[in-house]
Structures are given as structure tokens and as C-alpha cells.
Amino acid sequence: MRNRTQMAGLALVAAAATLFGMVVAGGVRLTTPTAAEVPGAAPPDPRPGAEPAATVALPGFADIAERVIPAVVGIKATEIIRSGESPRRLPNPFEFFFRDTPQDRFHEPRGPERRDSGGSGFLISPDGSILTNYHVIEGSERITVRLPSGRDDGPEREYRAEVVGIDPGTDLALLKIDPDGDLPYLSLGDSSGLRVGDWVMAVGNPIVYDRTVTVGVVSGKGRVLPELSVDWSLDDFIQTDAAINFGNSDGPLVTVHGRVVGVNTAISIAGQGIGFAVPINIAREILDQLKSEGRVARGYLGIELGPVTPDLAEGLGLSSTEGALVNRVTPGLPAAEAGVRYGDVIVAVDGAKVGTTAQLVHLISHKRPGERVRLGILRRGEQREFTARLADRGDKGPAAARYAQPSPGRSQAVLGLTLGELTPEIRNNLELDRSLEGVVVIRVDRTSEAWDQGIRDGNVITEVNQQPVGSVAEFHAALEAAGDRRIVVLYVVDSESARFVTIRLDQN
């Protein structure tokens, strides 16, 4: 289950511009290359304990900025709010900051109203193709692009833009303008070659300060931020400490060579200097589909996944933590029709090894709907293979969790859990399938490992060590049958998701 408190801590930087006239942008600090890449950089002294002989030379960012700035554009997105309509609402955390202004609270629209927001983007071809974030233009009826004049004292040029393609899953959008001639544009680099500590530079339009340059380093790679992604296609954020300001998102993250390695997208509200960018290699993979089809079609199995932790591997009798654990299988979708079951561990796709959940999602996402894939599976220690024909993922973002307080039946406390019988009334209140059998969690001790593992009031436990339990008595019997096992594996279900949870008996 996604942690909703984490979602509040991470936010896309996109703001309602009726108040400020700009989009809150997810600024990302850009970093520069390693010392080996910097001309004139002093090599490290190999002697133990030796002090640096000289300060390492930094690249000249002014030259890079002069090349990059002309290709960075301002974007104004206009939304028309008609009488009786609400402004577009983006899935949390794709929310506008400062939505609840005095005007919003006390002004009831009596007719169509105009709401402008803005952000940045950058040219990727001389004929006017522009890459930006989807959240900048989502729901807009008119998009205007502003380009630098090319002279310090010259007026900006404005163009109406059309949306060529969108991909909410990676928060990317491709726009097109029709210029009079060729325009300056940026070359796309290779984000896979980035190293933590490399210098990078971000360019964007924060607040009212157009074409602002910030510099930083690559703070981390491969950041998985499910709170920010509509699906798991985007599982490889670049983290940077480049200065983050409203309107700075959607612009390019470039190397000291001026090549784009990311699209600035998000910041962490919980701390300063923590920004995130979509790796440009992700954009490279989808650009052709955006141009030809206007959207991205991705393969879809119809399963919920979880990692194979060391405790789960021990509890399930697995020899390693490699693979992706199937937490739930959706009836009628490819995995179910192929014979995949919850509790299976997927270890290969078409012969390619699957080491983690992210790898499986990456492999399936890069296949087209209709393709057939061979799934290598471990089921209770036995190697199996199934063939599934992929469906189209479409827009299957995470659903919001719903919770209804259960009416406790007979309950007992164990493992820090107060459990009750799963009655028809509770099934109805929790919006559970009528056929679901198990025990309902009435209360969780906040000092227990069960709490640390994410079990919450209203969850339903249907299995203990892969043995079904239909009552509190059966739950206790299954625990007793565990004997001297150090770990118990629970299968935990709610109305939106299902997962395996491990509890260490030696800590309870």
C-alpha cells in the first residue's frame, strides 16, 4: 500500500498561475562532470594522506549557458473553467500549490473563467518540437510558447503550440510550433552515463525571472518515487541539488557539454536541495510513439508486485531474494489467464533474468500490447513457465485508498494485532469481495513490528505462512503450527491492494 504521508512530502512543482502567473516548477540542481572530464583538473595524489596540491578547476558555465538558454522556452497554458465545472484536478501529488486562495474561497464563478499557468520547456529539433512535463499542459485548451528573440534588447516571439503527444505515466509531453525558420535546439545526451557527483546545470523560468540558470551536482541515481509517478514506468529519477524555484521545472538538466540528460520535474518539500529529473533516456524511448500515435502503448500483465525481502525469502522458503513477488492477480487480465497466481515469484521474462520488481516492470513496459511473453516463475520452490499475451496498460494509475472503520466482532491480540472475525457487515463497510475469507485487523500496536511493516486498521489477513485462515482461531492455530520458525508470512488484503508481510517472531 502506498504511504499517503510520503505523498504529502513529495510534490510536483506546478502552481496555479491565476495568483502568480507561473507554474511552480520542480527545480533540479544540475551537476557538472567528474574531475576526469574537466579540462585542467588536477589528478588526485595517490600518496596516502596526501593533501590536494591545487584546487580542481571548474568548467566555464557561462559558455554552456549561452548555448542552452536560446533553446529554453516559456510555456503559458490556458484552461477555461465553465460554469459548474471545477478546475482540473491532478492526481496527488500532482496538485497545484496555493490553490486555496481567498478568491477561490469566496468567489463563485458565474460564467466561463480563464485560468493561466506556466512553466518551461526546451526545443529538441530546429522545426519547433518542444519537450516539457505533462503536468504543465494537462487540461489546457490553449498553449502559448515564448521564445527568446536572440538579442538582449529584442522582443520575445510568441507561437501557438499544438500537443503532439502526452504520456502521463512519465509526466512528459511533446509540443510543436511552426516557426518561420530554423530554431536553436538542444541535443539529447545519454543519462545512463551520469555518475553521482557529476556537475549539471538547470535552466528554466522561475517566478518572473525568465531563463534562470542554476548549477549543482547529481546527488543520486535510480530514485524510485512511486508517489510522483502515475505508474511504475518512471522508476529511475535523477536526484540533484540544483536550486529549485517556482517555474524551474520542465526545463532541461544538461551536462557541462550542453547535452540534455534530464527533464526537471519535482522537488521534495521535506528538505531543501532535493530535486528530481526524468532521465532523458526515458524520453528517447517514447518520442517516436508520441510523434506517431500521440500516446505511449505499454504492455500490461494485470498484477500487483512486491519485492522479495530477505525475511520473505526465508519465510517462503526461497533460496534468494531475486525476482518479483506477485501480490495480487487481477481476474480476466493476461497474467490470470496465463495461470499466474499470487505468491508466485517471477524470475524471468523471455529468458531475461528478473532480479527486482523494477526490472520486471521495465521489461514489460517496453513491450507492446498484443505481444506474447514467456514468464519464468517459482511456485513453492518449483520452476514453472507460463505464456501471457500482454494487454494495453492505458492510464492505470494508483487508486486512492479507501478506509471504513470496521465494527469489531470477537477479537484477540497477537503479534501487536487486535484481530476480529470478518463478518458480512465488515466486508460491506470495507468494500471487500463477499467471498473473501480471513480475519480483520481491528487495532495495531504502534510499537509493534506489524505497524512498522505497514499493517493498519481495516486490513484483512487471509493467510499465515501460505495457509488460508478464515477465523481468529485458525489464525492462532497457524501461528502455533509455525513451530520454531523465526519468521511468519502474512498475506494482507484491503479493498485496493494485496501484499505479503513478514513478522519476525523473535521480536514479538
Is there a catalytic annotation at residue 86? no
The gap from C-alpha 78 to its chain's centroid, in whole angstroms, comes to 26
Contact 206, 17 (CB under 8 A): no
Helices (H), 340-494: 357-365, 424-429, 449-452, 472-481
How far separated are the first and last CA of the chain, in Å rounded? Answer: 23
What DSSP designation does 58 have? P
C-alpha cell at 151: 538579442
The C-alpha atoms of residue 42 and residue 52 are separated, in whole angstroms, by: 9
Catalytic residue among 116, 117, 120, 135: 135
Q: Is 249 a catalytic residue?
A: yes
d(CA 136, CA 143): 10
Catalytic entry in 167, 171, 198, 231? 171
* Coil, strand or helix at 197: coil
Which grid cell is 31? Answer: 551537476
Q: Which residues contact 450 (CB under 8 A, 6 or more apart)?
A: 415, 416, 417, 444, 501, 503
Length of the chain, in residues: 508
Can 366 be counted among the known catalytic residues? no
Question: Catalytic pick from 249, 311, 344, 494?
Answer: 249
Contact 283, 153 (CB under 8 A): no
Q: Is the peptide bond before 93 cis (omega within 30 degrees of 0)?
A: yes
Residues 210/224, Cβ–Cβ less than 8 Å: no
What are the catalytic residues? 135, 171, 249
